[in-house]
Structures are given as C-alpha cells and as structure tokens.
Chains A and B, each alone.
Chain A
Amino acid sequence: MSLATKRGLAAGVLTLAMLTTVACGKTENNSASNAAGGSSAAEGSPSASAGASQTADSGASGEKIKLTFYSYNLATAGQKEGTQQLIDEFEKANPDIEIDGIPVASTDINAKVQADIAAGSPPDVAQLVFDGLDYAVNNFGAKPLEDIVPADELSKAFEGFSPNGLKLGQLNGKTYGLPFTFSTPVLFYNAKLFKDAGLDPETPPATWAEVKQDALRIAQKTGVSGVHIGGAQGNDWIIQALIGSNGGKVLSDDRKTIQFGSPEAIGAIQMWQDMIASGANDKLNDGDVIEAFAQGKVGMLLFTSALQSMFVSSAQAGGWELKAAAMPSFDGKPTTPVNSGSALFILSNDKAKQEAAWKFLNFVTSERGYTIITSKIGYLPLRPAIVDDPQYLKDYVEQNPLIKPNLEQLDRLQPWVSYPGPNWHQIETTLLDAVQKSILSTGDITPIMQDAQKQAQSLVQ
C-alpha cells in the first residue's frame, strides 16, 4: 500500500506538473494572441475597420452602443452615487450610448481586467490606478487617445486642462489614461491641538524641520502623537513625493534605471527616520493613525486629500477644528506633490466603441464632469478655471476652503511614476518594504535603500 501510494504520488506530481505547465502555457498564448488581435484591430486591418464603421453607422441609425466600464468608485459605498450621476448625465446627453458600470474593488481591478483579457472580452473602459500605467499600456493594450481622436479635436478637448494634470496618464509621449479620481498629499492638522501646545494654527509648518519642532511640542504639551507621515504602506506615491521634494527620483527619465538608492532619495527617507527616532512621529500604521487622527489624537497627518470629508465630519463630531496645509518642503526646496488615484483607460478594440468611449472620457473630464467628481466623489478638478466659476465649483470651494492647499499643489504636481515591465508591482513593494525597514531602524539606512535599489533593478525588464 505504502509503496503503491508513493509511486502513485510521484506519478501524480508529474502529471500535475505537466497539467499546470500546459494550462499556464495556454493562458499565455491566449493573452498573447489576444494582444496581437488587439493591435491588429486597432491599427485597422481593412476588414476590421469596415466592420467597425458599420457598427458606427448602425449606432447612428438608433442602435445603442453599449460600453462596459469597470470602476472602483462604483464599488465604494460613499462614492457610488457621484459616479453613477456621471454615468446618468452622460447617457442623458448621449442617448445612443449606454454605459454598463461594473463595480470592482481597486485592489482587484487589475486581476479582473487581466482575467477578462485572457477570456477574450476586456472591458471597454477601465478605471486603473496610476502605478499600473506602464502595465496597462504594454499588457492590457490600452489605446492612446492620439490614435482614436483627431488631433484638433483632442487639443480642443484639452483646452483649460492643467498641463501637469494631463501628464499624469501619459507614457512615451502619448495619452493613455485621462485622470479621473485622484488626490495629492496634504498636511492635515488639528487646530485645537496646535492651540493647546501654544502654537499658532494660522501659520502651519512649511518645512520638515518646522514640522519636527511643532510635532515635538505637541507631543510634549498634550501627550498625543505629534505628526504622522502616511504612505509607508499600500502604494508608493507619498514616498515618491518625498523623494522628489528632496531632489531625487525613483526611476530615470529613460525608464531604465531605478534610482531610489540615490543620496537625495536616502536623504528624504532619513528625514522620516529622524522624525520617528526623535519621537515627533509615532510608530503606528496608517490605518490606526487615520482613526486616531479622526478622534483628535494626532497633531498633524500627511496623507491623501481624499480623507478630507471624513475628517471634516469627525472633527465636527469630536469638537475640534480641522485645517490643512500644503505638503512641507525640505528646507525650502520646491515640493513635488505626486498624485494618487486613477485614470480612465480605453481597452476596447472596436473602433465604434473606442469613439463612444472617448465621448465618455471627454464628458467625465469636462467642466461638468470634474464638478461632480470634486463635489460628489471627493477628488480634485484638473481644470483650474472651474474653481472660480459660479456655474461649477465656486460655491463648493467657498464652503469647503480646506480644498485650497490641495488646489495650489496642482501647479507643482508630478506624475506618479509607474515602474516598467510585468514586475512593476514587485518593484513598488520592494521600495515600500525598504522604506518601512529604514524608518524604523536606528542606524545608517544607506545599505537598506541601496540593496533595495539593486534588487528592484534586477526586476526591471
């Protein structure tokens, strides 16, 4: 029996290994052939474009074009309504196009798109997080707007767009993603704790040295945590913002060399390490600190501006005053706020659908679209003029002055760099791990960051 079982097991392992290899090979082939099919369709083999234009004609003659739209805002209870409003208003204005909004959580959306591409039916439009931009372009077959929309129409649509904002979804000079819901890192602070510590809440710290000073004072006088720099967990956008503000980069301009082991990058993380070592910054994780800040138990918090509405209501409930300032600088060097959040990508291979999708993207990033995005979903408008326009956001900004430091940062906004190749996520994780290790260590962090750089470099393909 035992011998038989062993032999059986061995044979089993072998068969299984073979089966898995076959299965994997098959999926790869599948997605490869899909990608191939995608590009040929996009570049317009005669039959494909003929078929597509037929669909377009039938669209004009009253048949609806149906677009599937994967969105994680639809999968978030507090943001669902605003997103649905965008869809509803668009459908009303474009009765020949139907948007089939499909909620997928942000952490699962890449996996689902990948699976759908393997199954041969990618969504027509997908909301994807910026750190996956490179992957969306090279592996999901995202379509550049320049290939879909005539140049003059495109430049007209981009009039009034923040030039920095437009860069967020660009790669190799083409626009693949239009910034949809995104935010920047801002310094939230508790004005009550400032007063309790004898600090002036009207003059928030502007440099990290001042932050440290004020934080130590708050910790000393009130006994709560002075400051918390968020973003050591999850995604690396705040880390990129800090490294950039100290004159460093995470990736070279030619997108080939990882650079987060450079002296500037190390300097930025050293500031963070010193903040924790001195006791100015607590050692809690981001989730705990967000809750503690909401309870009025943290002096300052550098984190996504998307938290604003939650903090406003918890400040009202808890009887303290919430204020916000721009991201502090490294001794007056210009800061480089990096965006978090997502862009909309067109993944459809069908010409008629691509054109319909462009209409949708154009609407959600229009004056009206960004008005809904800002006032109903809680993100930022990338059309600076609408902030002063009574038809759009003027009233909202007057009622919500906290958004101002955030808007000012748009002038200095830097794109969230997505790492190249299929290992992009592993590279991001490598950086996050190294930063977590560095800020909690006591010694020199140079070896940690340089090891991470070396490791990440080997993952670049």
Chain B
Amino acid sequence: MDNKNKINSSISLTNSQLYVLVALRVLIGWHILYEGIAKLVSPYWSSAGFLLDSKWIFSGLAKTIVSNPILLTISDYGNMWALTIIGLLLMIGLFNRYASIAGMILILSYYLFSPPFVGLEYSKPGEGSYITVNKNLIEACALLVLYYLPTSHLIGLDRLIYKTKVV
C-alpha cells in the first residue's frame, strides 16, 4: 500500500495527497485546454492586442512580434496550439512532466509580458485586483508543483504507457 503511490525513490503519497494533486492537474488542464480551443475556433482572435499592451522588459520584443506579420502569425498559432495540446495532455495524464514544464514556461511568459507591478499602467482594465502577484503567476507555480510531483504514472494514460511496476 505504501509503495503504491510512489512519486520517486524517496517520495510516496497518501491516497488523499494523490487525489488532490490529480485534481489540481485536471483543473489546470481544463482551464488551459479551453483557453486554447476558444482561440482556435474564433476567426478573430489574435495575440496582437495582448502584445501591444505589453509592459516591462519584454515590451520591445512584443512590438517586434506585432510589427512583423510572420512573427505574429507564428505567435498566434503557437499560442492556440500550445494551450490546446498542453491542456489536453494534463487532463488525460500523458507526458505529464513535459506538459507541466511547457505549461509553466508558457504561462510564466504571459506574466512576464504584462506583470502587475506598481507603476505599470495597462489600457485594458483587469478582471481582478492584483499587485505584483496575479493568477498567471500562481498557475505557473502550480504547474511547477505538478512537475516535481507528477501523478500521471499513477492516475493517467502514462500509467498504461510506461507500465509502472506495481507490487
């Protein structure tokens, strides 16, 4: 029983701990998957609006992307598909560690392109109240937790693929 929920050679989880981590993984997967799908099916979506309002150290890079139609197209499709694929993988529990780290980088980049720092004014009104920390940063951090505490080899398609040894 103790060996069952082994994360690695040194960490084992209780059932409750495992279920909570799986729930976190599936919820984040759900969120990211729909973000991707909603963009894929909208013929109007573009990353240009977000990038144009970018502040802080990446605002120059953001302007370069927007002013170059090829880079902007790459950015648009890259975001749509990355969100969709990462979200799906997290939800079904496939290639969990890669999906977690890729998702973490993607969402951290959203944070870094427009961080809620004191003194940075955005033309788009925010949907909440943030100072320095916002939901993007928290979601990126949660994905890092999932990277270090992967669960898909216990509950998820990874279990079938890698045939995790039980007993």
A and B: interacting chains: no
Residue ranges of B at the interface with A (Cβ–Cβ < 8 Å): none
